[in-house]
Amino acid sequence: MAITVANCCFSALSSASTFKSRHCHLRFATFTSTSHSYLDARSLKATNNNKRAPKKSSSASPRKSNAEQKLPGRLKDDKSSLYGDGISGKGETGRPQSTGFKSFGTQRKEKKEFQLDSRDQQVEPGSFQDATFLNAVVKVYCTHTAPDYSLPWQKQRQYTSTGSAFMIGDGKLLTNAHCVEHDTQVKVKRRGDDTKYVAKVLARGVDCDIALLSVESQEFWKGAEPLRLGHLPRLQDAVTVVGYPLGGDTISVTKGVVSRIEVTSYAHGSSDLLGIQIDAAINPGNSGGPAFNEKGECIGVAFQVYRSEEAENIGYVIPTTVVSHFLNDYERNGKYTGFPCLGVLLQKLENPALRACLQVESNEGVLVRRVEPTSDANNVLKQGDVIVSFDNVHVGSEGTVPFRSNERIAFRYLISQKFAGDVAELGIIRAGKFMKVPVELNPRVHLVPYHIDGDQPSYLIIAGLVFTPLSEPLIEEECEESIGLKLLAKARYSLARFKGEQIVILSQVLANEVNIGYEDMGNQQVLKFNGTRIRNIHHLAHLVACCQDKYIVFEFEDNYLAVLEREAAMAASPRILKDYGIPSERSDDLLEPYVESLEDNQAIEQDFGDSPVSNLEMGFDGILWA
């Protein structure tokens, strides 16, 4: 499966060995200023790499080839284990498929909450050409400067892309998050105008692929009529997608119908949220543009399409329910906090004997197989519990709940309607007894993040040894083969045991006489420093700063050791930084004091690999995350 999002590049995972049972390509089609073609993650990455001049410091260790880059996702086609806040999509076992999602792409504030409004701006079918609300759709010009995750002290060469956005009032615009990812400059231009105005990114929701922009210029807003959000459409309802895709500079309108409404895999945030499938054409540059119904109401935001040899005309729109959740979250907290999750691994209970063994008398409920250590449910739910209701809504044995009049939808949908910090009441059966328990819902804590907060990765250089946290963008940039199957499996399937935990790796060694013998090391997880297990890279920096021993000892996986004389290592570090043109031995975030967390002492003593990855958790039917 390939997912293409219209303004940024993303790549897809096509794993080796066990992971090769199906090919899953997450790629973002980008409309750049130099191309009018669909670019997958690898081709665009190669294009950007070829344009870099000069490349990185010539004296630094050579970069791994990007020719075989693959997806930074958790095997979206290889799992029926589905995250409630969305980590994976579900694919069918069998022969490899060549498929693709591509994303291309509100409402005004009524008191405190954003409400769906269907009363205003109604037009007759066929009158879109003269509809004034089309003037609320603007073109977005973004300059991106992404971090270099392999050499984390510097940035990659900038590139530009275009997308779409629309006005929602109060001096704000909505677009897709991938349209303004790693932005250094954002400009917008209204329909029929020849002036571009500078816009500011107020909030970016990676998981729901929505971004909120503001434009301070009063000139930009003269005569503007913001859009209002309509209600969730019905199947076969007519839909019109408006935006600025490739093929021309003026506004574009394409029409289709609503084909399906269900929980959908969002390519950019690797999340599972409600989505509207349509057959209207969505192309690079459409990202962030609105979709209208026949009455002229905005029913969502265009963001991705599905590409496959076996399917066509499958586009996706972010529905108004998700958009309103994003806006209300921002209004409540002054920032975007994200969609919450329950934090449990669930199994369907379709087998009668399984239900009888668990003392579940009716055909309902899902089995709790595992609870995330970092979730609030860890203090409430136990392995073997059966969840039969969520806020008094009954959960079916296949993990679905009632949706509208005569439909059913994935259980995760109910969780996605909540906000971070909300409390849900779960009805559970434990050892044959029914009870109700309250559970607080919060965003998932990822051991290996899909995106880096603050846009710049952390790093620490000790005598030429470059340490950095493992992240999906780093896996994408380095390519999976160089990361290794064992480390890749941990990245895909391991759970964080406590908040703040990271997989810290030695990404490369900057060759110097002080580190002779270690030059070929790279992409190896460091577990301990002088006998102390490492919690995260900030903890490692703290341990190094406090060390007074004669030797500094790094313990890696498979009992591999790297030992340096402390005084020699400290003396050589400034010379190495100078030789390789590196401004600092550590990233700015590691200059802050490290705060010890006592509650994690017990968890830290467990090995990263003590929970083997089973075939079930790697993606066979009957399992889902919520």
* Residues forming the active site: 178, 209, 287
Closest CA to 330 of 438, 182, 168: 168
- DSSP codes of every residue in 565-578: EHHHHHHHHHHHHH
Write down the residue that tokens 């969609």 correspond to.
339
Query: 198-219: string of b/e by CB count within 10 Å (b at 16+)?
Result: ebebbbbbbbbbbbbbebeeee
Q: Which tokens in the block code for residue 213?
A: 């922009």
Rounded CA-CA distance 350/53 in Å is 58
Q: Which residues contact 54 (CB under 8 A, 6 or more apart)?
A: none
Q: Which residues pair with 571 in a beta bridge?
A: none
Strands 99-103 and 2-5: parallel
Handedness of CA 97, 625, 457, 537 (dihedral sign): negative
Annotate 170-234 with DSSP letters as a single string.
TTEEEE-GGGGTTEEEEEEE-TT----EEEEEEEEETTTTEEEEE---TTTTTT-----B-PPPP
- Paired with 622 in beta bridges are none
Residue 600, C-beta contacts closer than 8 angstroms, at least 6 positions apart:
497, 498, 500, 501, 535
Beta strands (DSSP E) in 510-574 are: 524-529, 532-533, 551-556, 561-565
What is d(CA 415, CA 433) in angstroms, rounded to the nearest whole number?
Answer: 24
User: CA-to-CA distance for 306 and 226, rounded, in angstroms?
Assistant: 30
Per DSSP, the residues of 236-290 read T-EEEEEE--TT-SS-EEEEEEEEEEEEEEETTTTEEEEEEEE-S---TT-TT-E
8 A C-beta contact, residue 180 and residue 213: yes
For 522, residues 6+ apart whose C-beta sits below 8 A from its C-beta are 61, 482, 506, 507, 508, 509
d(CA 296, CA 315): 19
Please tell me the distance from the alpha carbon of residue 533 to that of residue 556, in angstroms, as a whole number. 11
Euclidean distance between CA atoms 488 and 421, whole angstroms:
32
C-alpha distance from residue 528 to each of 142, 271, 288, 353, 544 (Å): 42, 33, 45, 46, 11
